[in-house]
Amino acid sequence: MDYLQLATHYLVEDLKGKYIHLDTILPVIDRLKSDFEITEIGKSVQNRSIYQIKIGTGKTKILMWSQMHGNESTTTKGVFDFFNFLLSDEKEASRIKKEYTLLCIPMLNPDGAYLYTRENASNVDLNRDAFNATQPEMQVLHAINKSFDPDYCYNLHDQRTIFGTEEFNLPATVSFLSPAFNSAREYNDVRLKSITIINKMNNVLQNYIPNQIGRFDDSYNINCTGDYFTTQMTPTILFEAGHYQNDYPRDQVRKYIFIALLSSFNAINENVIVDNELIKYLNIPQNNKCFYDFIYKNVKIIDNSEEKIINFVAQYNEVVQDGQLKYIATIDKLDDLQNFKGHIEYDCAYGLFSSQGLNYPVLGEAANFFIDNLTEFNNGLKII
């Protein structure tokens, strides 16, 4: 099976870029109504609708949700691409619908999606509200989880561009986690069920993004949704969509989320050798904070009349302006940075930094500057 070809073929063209909100997905949801069961299951703080999408008749039940954090939309796109595949007459699509019942909340935090924030409209991180369930969006998820009683949960997120795979120092394009159920981070049958699926997804993804699959930190926090559901004895998998070279809109990464989702349905209910599965899982490299968007090396500055050679970095801030997502590069750190890589790196060859009459970079300022008054950098990028 050519997973990447399928991911490309069934990509939903309506959904592009990272600014995906309720108005963006409603036309796509509307097209699913003839084949999927669509239900409004609640309202957000600002009274936006929260929907569930249900398909399949199989005995194995999977609950999945995306955009719990409103500015994490890559998995939402991947989910709709996967649903587009399930609409087809592909043999694998028919098998999945026969063997599984899928229930998806494609946008749990529609207010945060519209505002392009991690939190909901009450400034609460829903992924720290699982235990107390103070927010209406989390109450919706709890109610659906209780009524549906899933065999597995898929908790779908994005992670920042700063993450790479430990030892390989490549971008962590997709990362997974089987969340802990206690502070000792022990492994029980519930975690091992999730681990088996993660290993299958990892095996397939290695064919497309070798050494770019990470294992997310499993520190235990009962307030986190994955930890809470695992504590309630439901195998839960955290999906983290990360960075791929030159793919800031994450329209390539969504394809790898599609591949992960599709390949996961070949792993559930397989007979496995538990010890081997745990070893394979622990051999997935951990996520490591080792990247910046831009690194500028060998830059001459003048600070208090003293010449120095430094390295510095710039990082994109994502800001919605006039309904469009903008990437604004700002100077983030000055350091030797020997343990870090840049998604884009420039060797400034000991040229002199200048910006707005200063010969040194200022933290938090826009990454607009010159080197030797000849080479211009605008919004982080070299102007050619």
Q: pLDDT tens across 241-262, in order?
A: 999 999 999 999 999 999 999 9
Indicate if 198 and 101 belong to the same structural domain.
yes
CB 284 within 8 A of CB 214: yes
Do 150 and 220 belong to one domain?
Answer: yes
Residue labelled with tokens 């899933």? 150
Which of 241, 267, 289 is the C-terminal boundary of a domain? 289
> What is the distance between the alpha carbons of residues 44 and 47, in angstroms, rounded to a whole number?
5
pLDDT digits (tens, 9 = 90+) for 283-297: 999 999 999 999 999
Q: Are residues 218 and 273 in the same domain?
A: yes
Task: Calculate the average pLDDT of the chain.
Answer: 96
- CA angle at residue 308 from 307 to 310, to 5 degrees? 150
Give pTM, 2 decimals: 0.96
Do both 233 and 359 map to the same domain?
Answer: no
* pLDDT level of residue 266 (50, 70, 90 thresholds): confident
Indicate if 323 and 342 belong to the same structural domain: yes
End-to-end CA distance of the chain: 42
Cα–Cα distance for residue pair 191/109, rounded to 1 Å: 27
Q: Give how many domains the chain has, as a whole number.
A: 2
List beta partners, residue 310: 299
Same domain (yes/no): 106, 222? yes
Q: What SS3 class is residue 148?
A: helix
Q: Please tell me the predicted confidence (pLDDT) of residue 275.
A: 72
Among 289, 306, 336, the domain-final residue is 289
Task: Find the CATH number of the domain harbouring 318.
Answer: 2.30.40.10
Q: Are residues 257 and 173 part of one domain?
A: yes
Q: In this structure, are 241 and 348 located in the same domain?
A: no
283 and 297 together in one domain: no
Domain of 320?
291-382
Predicted pLDDT of residue 1: 82
**Of the residues 239, 272, 289, the one at which a domain ends:** 289
pLDDT exceeds 90 at position 74: yes
pLDDT of residue 338: 87
Same-domain status, 224 and 121: yes
Is 349's pLDDT higher than 80?
A: yes
pLDDT at 250: 98
Answer for the pair 270, 195: CB distance below 8 angstroms, yes or no. no
